[in-house]
Structure 1
Amino acid sequence: MCRSIKTLRAPYVETVTPDDVRAAALQYVRKVSGFRTPAAHNREAFDAAVEAVAAATQQLLDQLVVRGRA
């Protein structure tokens, strides 16, 4: 997949910021769409996809249970 998307869960990172989540979502949408920067007529769809992926990513991170941590 996209090697520039870093792992965002513990123990790989201590804290995850909204900017980290959005950056990962942006990289994912760029990879899937094939656009680094979409044309004006695709901007709304592109931005909506980034927001949806970011929300899903945050939900996933919020629900993950990492065992073996003190």
Structure 2
Amino acid sequence: MCRSIKTLRAPAMPVVTDEDIHAAALQYVRKVSGFRAPAAHNRAVFDEAVAAVEAATGRLLEGLEIRGSGRSSGSGAS
């Protein structure tokens, strides 16, 4: 669905920044909503969705275990 979103887990991206997570969340919400930039009356719900996806993505990346590496994915970003 969102082909332009990069894989953020190791080893594809050894270092993931908060900006990487935000960009992926923003792209996802844009795709799902159909809006590149929402109208003023939709801005709050759009921004809330981006923040929720960012938080879920951060939890996902922190919790993933990468087999063979002896560690979790742990991006270091929060």
TM exceeding 0.5? yes
Partner of 2:8: 8
- Gaps spanning 5+ residues in structure 2: where? 71-78
Q: What is the RMSD computed on CA atoms of the aligned residues?
A: 0.8
Partner of 1:33: 33
Deviation of 1:67 after TM superposition, in Å, equals 0.7
Partner of 1:57: 57
Structure having the higher helix fraction is 1
**Runs (4+) off by over 4 Å:** none
Q: C-alpha deviations, 1:15-51, integer Å up to 9, x for none?
A: 1000000000000000000000000000000000000
Length, aligned pairs only:
70
Structure having the higher strand fraction is 2
- Gaps spanning 5+ residues in structure 1: where? none
| Whole-angstrom distance in 2 between the partners of 1:60 and 1:69 | 17
Deviation of 1:68 after TM superposition, in Å, equals 1.0
Q: Percent identity?
A: 69
TM-score, structure 2 normalization = 0.87
